[in-house]
């Protein structure tokens, strides 16, 4: 299958794992092992890179999605909670039942929860909306929450984010997130968003979309919320479903790629001409996003897509690793200095 995927000159795409039904997010452990979440199977899976079959590291979880290592623990965001285990390097199974460190609003149309730790050592969890467009009863919906690592100190860090599945920090320590825009408002509106996430920032949903264009249903009800709206730092094709983002800060790729963001586009379901189904590169200049280009293509389009990219991480070797929840594969993208596949 890897011969179908196309990368820029000098890059190679290789399949390093398969048979991972519904695989979503990825994280490397401190001892260099790759872990993946399979929400619908309720599993955290240990994925050998150099050969061998993936093995279940933890089972029986409630739609595990976000995953991160921090200060000797492995953290997982289930749909209604954050749990953690004391991590044991080299262990093939989780050391018993996890510790529950935080409760989250569960379920909803957007049931995934993404978990990352920032440069400040705080835990950040994104929670999508319950609906396509509505006014939420729980203010923790359509938001990014911040916690201490033990789950204390919960607060809303940023809001008005309909479904920011992916977020990451750049080399300057700034938080960026990709937000999935509202459906059923036309083929080309609203755009998907790359947002510079500020503490206390409000990004418009459900009162405004894109460049803070008032929503026809809710904008007039709360004009002050439209006024508060922070527009996206960069716009991506509508309905392309950005899910993963990573700033490349390793050295395996050529220097021109360092500091740029790589985003997985899962692909559209409600657009007359399908969009997404690829990995894009957002070019940064002087700390700002200035252009977008294709990085990995060949996943197919629409109903004909044989793979759909989701998670993206940088490995210890400086390669990028991608998950794909349709074919159930993990792919490695590395620079070889020769023609990419």
pLDDT at 1: 61
Tell me what the mean pLDDT of segment 137-144 comes to: 98
Residue 117 lies in a domain: no
Tell me what the mean pLDDT of segment 53-57 comes to: 96
pLDDT at 162: 98
Helix ranges restricted to H, 156-268: 223-228
Q: Label residues 183-193 b or e (16+ Cβ within 10 Å = b).
A: bebeeeebbbb
pLDDT at 338: 62
pLDDT band of residue 50 (cuts 50, 70, 90) is confident
Residue 141 lies in a domain: no
Number of domains the chain contains: 1
Tell me the average pLDDT of the chain.
96
Check whether 279 has a pLDDT greater than 80.
yes
Tell me what the mean pLDDT of segment 78-85 comes to: 98
How far apart (Å, rounded) are the C-alpha atoms in residues 274 and 30? 39
For the stretch 199-255, pLDDT in tens is: 999 999 999 999 999 999 999 999 999 999 999 999 999 999 999 999 999 999 999
Residue 152 lies in a domain: no
pLDDT at 341: 39
Check whether 302 has a pLDDT greater than 60.
yes
Tell me what the mean pLDDT of segment 191-198 comes to: 98
Q: What percent of the chain clears pLDDT 70, i.e. is strictly above it?
A: 98
Phi/psi at 239 (nearest 5 deg)? 65, 20
Residue 172 lies in a domain: no
Helix (H, G, I), strand (E, B), or coil: what is residue 276? coil
Quick one: which of 16, 14, 12 has its CA closest to 34?
16
Phi/psi at 204 (nearest 5 deg)? 110, -45
pLDDT band of residue 45 (cuts 50, 70, 90) is very high
pLDDT at 194: 98
pTM higher than 0.95 for the full model? yes
The dihedral built from the CA positions of residue 288, 292, 297 and 303, taken in this order, carries a sign that is positive
Check whether 95 has a pLDDT greater than 50.
yes
How far apart (Å, rounded) are the C-alpha atoms in residues 82 and 105? 11
Residue 5 lies in a domain: yes
> Taking a C-beta distance cutoff of 8 angstroms, is the pair 100, 85 a contact?
no
Residue 171 lies in a domain: no
Check whether 56 has a pLDDT greater than 50.
yes
Residue 313 lies in a domain: yes
Residue 316 lies in a domain: yes
**Structural domain of residue 258, as residue ranges?**
1-18+250-341
């Amino acid at each position: 299958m890897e011969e179908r995927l196309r990368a820029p000159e000098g890059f190679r795409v290789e399949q390093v794992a398969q048979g991972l039904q519904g695989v979503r997010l990825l994280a490397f452990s401190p001892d260099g092992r790759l872990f993946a979440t399979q929400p619908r199977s309720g599993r955290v899976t240990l994925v050998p890179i150099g050969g061998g079959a993936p093995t279940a590291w933890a089972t029986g979880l409630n739609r595990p999605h976000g995953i991160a290592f921090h200060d000797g623990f492995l953290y997982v965001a289930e749909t209604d909670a954050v749990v953690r285990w004391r991590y044991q390097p080299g262990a093939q199974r989780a050391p018993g039942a996890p510790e529950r460190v935080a409760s989250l609003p569960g379920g909803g149309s957007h049931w995934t929860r993404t978990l990352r730790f920032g440069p400040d050592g705080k835990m950040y969890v994104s929670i999508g909306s319950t609906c396509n467009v509505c006014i939420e009863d729980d203010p923790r919906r359509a938001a990014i929450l911040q916690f201490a690592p033990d789950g204390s100190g919960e607060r809303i860090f940023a809001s008005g984010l309909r479904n920011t599945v992916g977020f990451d920090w750049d080399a300057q320590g700034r938080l960026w997130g990709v937000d999935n825009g509202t459906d059923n408002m036309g083929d080309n509106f609203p755009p998907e968003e790359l947002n510079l996430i500020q503490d206390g920032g409000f990004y418009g949903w459900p009162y405004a979309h894109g460049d803070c264009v008032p929503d026809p249903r809710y904008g007039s009800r709360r004009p002050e919320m439209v006024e508060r709206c922070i527009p996206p730092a960069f716009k991506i094709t509508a309905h392309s479903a950005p899910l993963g983002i990573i700033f490349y800060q390793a050295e395996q790729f050529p220097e021109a790629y360092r500091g740029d963001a790589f985003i997985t586009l899962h692909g559209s379901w409600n657009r007359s001409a399908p969009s997404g189904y690829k990995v894009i590169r957002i070019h940064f200049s002087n700390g700002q996003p200035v252009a977008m280009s294709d990085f990995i293509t060949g996943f197919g389009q629409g109903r004909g897509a044989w793979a759909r990219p989701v998670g993206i991480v940088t490995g210890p070797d400086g390669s990028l690793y991608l998950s794909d929840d349709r074919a159930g594969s993990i792919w490695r993208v590395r620079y070889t200095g020769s023609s990419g596949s």
